[in-house]
Amino acid sequence: MMFRMSTPIILHLRRKCQNFWQEVYNKNMNIILFIILVIIILFLIFFGISTLISLYGGVPFVDSGSDIFRQAFKMANLRQGKVLYELGSGIGTGIVIASREYKARVCGVEISPLYYLISKIRGSSDKNINVIYSDIMKVNLHSADVVYCYLIPKLMKALEQKFKHELKSGALVVSLAFQLPNTKPYKIEKIKNRTLYLYKF
């Protein structure tokens, strides 16, 4: 008799409990979905702004690729104790290779917040890597032994004067694809249908 009476009550309580948890789950799912959506939107805005800033700097982001970096660094005889500046260091592929494989002290300069952040994170555990959030025209290059860049002709023209004024005697510049307009390359090498120009100042 006792058992029979308690069964509907237990069933009722069980149903109430289930409804309660279902409600909690639905509410939380809505909040979680909302947070995910906000994160995606914020990331897209950040990515968009970063891309616009790269383009405002005049150059969209395109990675040189590891093989080209290695050939460029070999060409410039990059080694331990040398200081490398990468102008427009993108996502940091070059600066990581230069520090890990060539033991150089490295400074990446990047104008786009997203690429700056990515390269900052990639180089964060390496005391030989420094990444500066700046326009390349505002960074003094007097301590550079080697400069690497993959930019555009307009910037190469502006940089030519900067190199002449700031680089120490004997410093080397390697440029992928684009030449300095009024300086004769010291060496030219081809890799994967791309051209690397080496200049000696």
The one segment of 30-38, 40-48, 58-66, 161-169 that binds ligand SAM by CB under 6 A: 58-66
Residue 113 touching ligand SAM (CB under 6 A): no
Q: Tell me how far, at minimum, the Cβ of 197 lies from ligand SAM, in Å.
A: 14
159, 136 Cβ separation under 8 angstroms = yes
Q: Strand pairing of 105-110 and 83-87?
A: parallel
- For every residue of 40-107, DSSP letters joined together read HHHHHHHHHHHHHHHHHHT-------HHHHHHHHHHTT--TT-EEEEES-TTSHHHHHHHHHH--EEE
Identify which of residues 112 and 128 has a Cβ nearer to ligand SAM in the complex.
Answer: 112
Q: Tell me how far, at minimum, the Cβ of 125 lies from ligand SAM, in Å.
A: 20
Residue 135 touching ligand SAM (CB under 6 A): yes
Among 71, 76, 89, 146, indicate the residue that binds ligand SAM (CB under 6 A). 89
CA atoms lying within 13 Å on the CB side of residue 62: 12
Among 88, 107, 180, 196, indicate the residue that binds ligand SAM (CB under 6 A). 88
Identify which of residues 14 and 157 has a Cβ nearer to ligand SAM in the complex.
Answer: 157
- How many Cβ atoms are within 10 Å of 175's Cβ, its own excluded? 22
Cα(52)–Cα(2) distance, integer angstroms? 75
Residue 58 touching ligand SAM (CB under 6 A): yes
Which residues contact ligand SAM (rule: CB under 6 A)? Answer: 54, 57-59, 61-64, 86, 88-90, 93-94, 109-112, 115, 135-136, 150-151
